[in-house]
């Protein structure tokens, strides 16, 4: 039901592409991938949520944990491609101002280059 894959964008960055519903059952799978990258101190983690149609608070909590981890070593965790209903969860949680959120991968990458 959930597919999580990673691909390198350069020596410093990785895109995590998530497809499916992120809920109490599936969020540990996302967490495992993010923690694996933060343990390696991956500088830039871009999370592609364009194929996530549902995310609950456990999914949001997983991303908050990732954000806090990258903050410890000066890295970045950036989100892009959020569907309206997923974005609403961040807005309701007032986390839309805490995360860097971009409409698509190109915009997110452009921001990283600045």
Q: For binding to other proteins (CB under 8 A), which residues are involved?
A: 1, 21, 23-25, 54, 56-58, 60-62, 64-65, 68, 84-85, 88-89, 92-95, 98
DSSP letter, residue 38: H
CB of 94 to other proteins, least distance (A): 4
Q: Is 49 helix (H, G, I), strand (E, B) or coil?
A: strand
Alpha-helix runs per DSSP H in 1-114: 27-39, 57-72, 84-92, 105-113
Determine whether 34 is exposed, middle or buried from the number of CB atoms within 10 Å of its CB (0-12, 13-18, 19+): buried
Of 42 and 62, which has the nearer Cβ to other proteins?
62
Of 41 and 98, which has the nearer Cβ to other proteins?
98
Closest CA to 18 of 99, 69, 32: 32
Of 10 and 88, which has the nearer Cβ to other proteins?
88
CB of 100 to other proteins, least distance (A): 14
CB of 59 to other proteins, least distance (A): 10
């Amino acid at each position: 039901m959930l597919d999580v894959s990673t691909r390198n964008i350069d020596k410093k960055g990785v895109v995590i592409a998530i497809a499916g519903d992120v809920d109490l059952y599936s969020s540990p799978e996302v967490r495992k991938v993010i923690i694996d990258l933060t343990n390696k101190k991956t500088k830039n983690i871009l999370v592609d949520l364009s194929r996530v149609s549902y995310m609950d608070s456990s999914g949001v909590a997983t991303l908050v944990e990732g954000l806090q981890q990258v903050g410890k070593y000066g890295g970045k965790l950036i989100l892009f491609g959020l569907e309206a209903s997923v974005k609403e969860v961040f807005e309701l949680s007032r986390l839309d101002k805490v995360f860097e959120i971009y409409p698509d991968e190109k915009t997110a990458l452009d921001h990283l280059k600045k």
